[in-house]
Amino acid sequence: MTDSKTIEILIDDPWFLVVNKPIDLLTQAIDTLPSLQSRLIEQQTNDAAPKPFIGIPHRLDRMTSGTLVVARNQRSLRQLCQQFVARIVGKEYLAWVSGNPPSHGSWEDLMRKVPNEPRAELCSLDQEHSRTATLDYRVLRQRTNAQNQPESLLLIQLGTGRMHQIRLQCGSRGFPILGDRLYGSCCQWDPETGSPAPVYREPPIALHAYRLTFHHPQTAVAVAAVAPPPSAFPWGNDPL
């Protein structure tokens, strides 16, 4: 039986790992807090690698699961960071939202991090730290929940990578991600099944980093990785 703390590795390459990040886990944190980085270091430690290098070129929010790449050496970390800065990394997410948005679309907003608060907001061009946020989406599936309210599964391709971007852009248009009370959801969402229910540090939200595409940091060959969402998610393991 696999330890519940074991991080699922999707691609194991000498230059990088692609992993499926679980929910309720920080990507990177100080030593006193559990994180994906610290668990991978522990998981990769062996006689051949007593001090494994695990570099973090990008992050997912604590309550977002899915595809994440980490570097296994400094050169790889620098190269991957450059790809994220240059926006040549493809990032696709699955978001289960309330409501019925149009079948496809492109969203562009000005947004910023709220000063001294762990949330983002829409803003105007003249406000300090305003940044453009863009994404494209299409609706994959729709359903009516037990309360006879419409819900939709979106496949989202990010053009930018702002703090809480998907959450804010969905919520501000009246399509909050299930469970995301910070950005307008009125419902609780639990991705787990069975009893007893787990205790989370934050409310779970129905957002999953589905596909990541980038270039190999040594060879520049295109790499594509997919992390199927947990089977208990409302769209199951094969949403497409």
> From CA 127, how far away is CA 223, in angstroms rounded?
38
Predicted pLDDT of residue 170: 98
The pLDDT score that the predictor gives to residue 234 is: 63
Quote the pLDDT of residue 191: 63
Coil, strand or helix: which one is 215?
strand
Q: CB–CB of 110/122 below 8 Å?
A: yes
- d(C-alpha 64, C-alpha 208), whole Å: 6
> So what's the pLDDT on residue 230?
73
Q: Is 44 helix (H, G, I), strand (E, B) or coil?
A: helix
For the chain, what is the radius of gyration of the CA atoms? 18
Show the CA angle centred on residue 206, arms to residues 200 and 212, nearest 5°: 110
Q: How far apart are CA 133 and CA 197, in angstroms?
A: 36
* Per-residue pLDDT reduced to its tens digit, 227-239: 988 766 666 666 6
pLDDT at res. 194: 39
When mean pLDDT is compared across 27-36, 146-155, 163-172, the lowest value belongs to 27-36
User: Residue 146: is its pLDDT beyond 90?
Assistant: no
Q: What is the pLDDT of residue 111?
A: 97
Highest-scoring range by mean pLDDT, 2-16, 70-84, 202-216: 70-84
pLDDT in tens, 47-82: 887 889 999 999 999 989 999 999 999 999 999 999
Q: What is the pLDDT at residue 198?
A: 63
pTM of the model: 0.91
Q: Which two tokens stand for residue 187?
A: 């419902």
Bridge partners, residue 152, by sequence:
97, 142
Instruction: Identify the architecture of domain 8-226 in CATH.
Output: 2-Layer Sandwich (3.30)
Q: What is the pLDDT of residue 13?
A: 98
Cα separation of 217 and 222, whole Å?
Answer: 10
Q: Which of 3, 13, 61, 190 is catalytic?
A: 61
Residue 1's pLDDT is 33
Which stretch of 29-38, 47-56, 185-194, 209-218 has the lowest confidence by average pLDDT? Answer: 185-194
pLDDT at 193: 47
> Is the backbone peptide bond immediately before 150 cis, with ω within 30 degrees of 0?
no
State the SS3 of 136-174. Answer: EEEEEEEEECCCCCEEEEEEEEECCCCCCHHHHHHHHCC
Residue 1, both tokens = 């039986």
pLDDT for res 192: 59
* Residue 61 is a catalytic residue: yes
**Rounded-to-integer distance, Cα 230 and Cα 170, Å:** 22
pLDDT band at 43 (very low <50, low <70, confident <90, very high): very high
Q: Alpha helix (H) ranges present in the chain?
A: 36-44, 74-85, 165-172
